């Protein structure tokens, strides 16, 4: 089984991207108007289609695929996915839309930021422009009187949307609320450059004001205590920022700033063994995400 029920009318699909478990997932809202959240990367589109088959959803019946943002791990597979979903339209932030239509520019920049990880995700195929619905707000009928509401949540990216669904009072934050490590039940910052702290904190306030019960992370899975987790994430982001700002002022290296973060953030301290041994997280969490704060700190210290 690739799918797992995680709420009323809601299923998670484990994409097992590159053979990694609990790395990336997509979500399927079932009912008369099936709705997907996140295409995931190109390489794992077959897994998502298998998930639809498992739930006995006809590909022709899928009306919408909502993508939180167009980074390869969330929206890279959209063009490939749409080849199999002839009637689906794509909900995307207007700043992300051009990258779906013409992924040629996104690919080399992803390769330079992600290195070998971009090859694990696979190269994106273009999405026909007429299949996109670019927006920053609005809501969609998901059946039985429930709605999926679009919330603009910038910070991680300049094109990150979150989605609130009223069946379960849950939020799909994309990367606006960090990475959830299910095995430890903790959140770790997802902050590659260019990261904008103020926008990220404002986005978290927006999500908190919706008073959600659960969070459905694309990395990875369902987490309860949504409001408390969002509040804790704000504190964690501020801690990393304070360390980075102080470190940049003292001309410390990425490694020195990273080691201070590991020492001072209780969450990082607890999970560092796992993160160091993980082929992907050791690069994304311990290099890219720290670098995001360092680049942010340089703009503050100017
Ligand atoms: Zn991501």
Q: At what angle do helices 254-264 and 289-301 cross, to 10 degrees?
A: 110
| The residue to which tokens 């459905």 are assigned | 216
Closest residue by Cα to residue 157 from 39, 73, 242, 243: 73
Q: How many angstroms does the Cα of residue 145 sit away from the middle of ligand 1?
A: 31
What integer best gives the mean pLDDT of the chain? 96
Q: In the beta sheet, which residues pair with residue 149?
A: 139, 164
Q: Are 189 and 289 in contact (CB under 8 A)?
A: yes
Count of CB atoms situated within 10 Å of the CB of 256: 13
Look at residue 35 in the predicted model and tell me its pLDDT.
Answer: 96
Q: How many angstroms does the Cα of residue 4 sit away from the middle of ligand 1?
A: 20
Q: How many angstroms does the Cα of residue 184 sit away from the middle of ligand 1?
A: 18
Q: How many angstroms does the Cα of residue 71 sit away from the middle of ligand 1?
A: 7
| Residue 301 binned pLDDT confidence (cut-offs 50, 70, 90) | low
Q: How many angstroms does the Cα of residue 181 sit away from the middle of ligand 1?
A: 13
Q: How many angstroms does the Cα of residue 269 sit away from the middle of ligand 1?
A: 22
Look at residue 114 in the predicted model and tell me its pLDDT.
Answer: 84
Q: How many angstroms does the Cα of residue 250 sit away from the middle of ligand 1?
A: 31
| Residue 302 binned pLDDT confidence (cut-offs 50, 70, 90) | low
Share of the chain above pLDDT 90, in %: 91
Question: Which DSSP category does 162 fall into?
Answer: E
Q: How many angstroms does the Cα of residue 159 sit away from the middle of ligand 1?
A: 12
Look at residue 109 in the predicted model and tell me its pLDDT.
Answer: 84
Query: Backbone dihedral region of 46: left (phi > 0), alpha (psi from -120 to 50 degrees) or beta?
Result: alpha
Q: For residue 266, what are its two tokens?
A: 């209780």
Task: Tell me the whole-structure pTM to 2 decimals.
Answer: 0.96
Q: How many angstroms does the Cα of residue 144 sit away from the middle of ligand 1?
A: 31
Q: How many angstroms does the Cα of residue 24 sit away from the middle of ligand 1?
A: 8
What is the bridge-based pairing of β-strands 170-172 and 214-217?
Answer: parallel
Q: For residue 254, what are its two tokens?
A: 């990425």
Over residues 188-220, the pLDDT tens digits come to 999 999 999 999 999 999 999 999 999 999 999
Q: How many angstroms does the Cα of residue 149 sit away from the middle of ligand 1?
A: 20
Q: What is the mean pLDDT of residues 282-293?
A: 94
């Amino acid at each position: 089984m690739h799918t797992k029920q995680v709420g009323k009318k809601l299923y998670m699909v484990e994409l097992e991207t590159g053979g990694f478990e609990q790395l990336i997932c997509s979500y399927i809202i079932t009912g008369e108007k099936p709705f997907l959240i996140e295409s995931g990367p190109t390489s794992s589109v077959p897994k998502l289609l298998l998930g639809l088959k498992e739930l006995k959803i006809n590909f022709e019946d899928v009306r919408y695929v909502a993508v939180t943002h167009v980074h390869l791990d969330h929206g890279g597979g959209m063009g490939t996915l749409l080849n199999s979903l002839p009637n689906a339209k794509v909900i995307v932030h207007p700043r992300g839309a051009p990258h779906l239509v013409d992924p040629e520019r996104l690919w080399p920049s992803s390769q330079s930021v992600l290195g070998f990880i971009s090859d694990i995700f696979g190269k994106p195929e273009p999405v026909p422009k007429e299949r996109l619905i670019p927006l920053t707000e609005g809501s969609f009928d998901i059946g039985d009187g429930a709605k999926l509401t679009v919330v603009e949540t910038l910070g991680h990216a300049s094109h990150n949307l979150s989605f609130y669904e009223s069946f379960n009072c849950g939020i799909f934050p994309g990367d606006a609320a960090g990475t959830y490590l299910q095995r430890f039940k903790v959140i770790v910052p997802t902050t590659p450059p260019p990261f904008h702290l103020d926008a990220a904190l404002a986005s978290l306030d927006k999500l908190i004001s919706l008073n959600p019960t659960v969070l459905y992370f694309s990395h990875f899975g369902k987490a309860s205590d949504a409001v408390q987790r969002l509040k804790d994430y704000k504190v964690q982001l501020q801690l990393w920022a304070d360390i980075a700002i102080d470190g940049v002022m003292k001309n410390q290296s990425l490694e020195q700033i990273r080691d201070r973060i590991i020492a001072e953030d209780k969450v990082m301290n607890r999970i560092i063994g796992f993160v160091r041994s993980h082929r992907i997280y050791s690069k994304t969490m311990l290099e890219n995400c720290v670098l995001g704060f360092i680049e942010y700190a340089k703009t503050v210290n100017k």
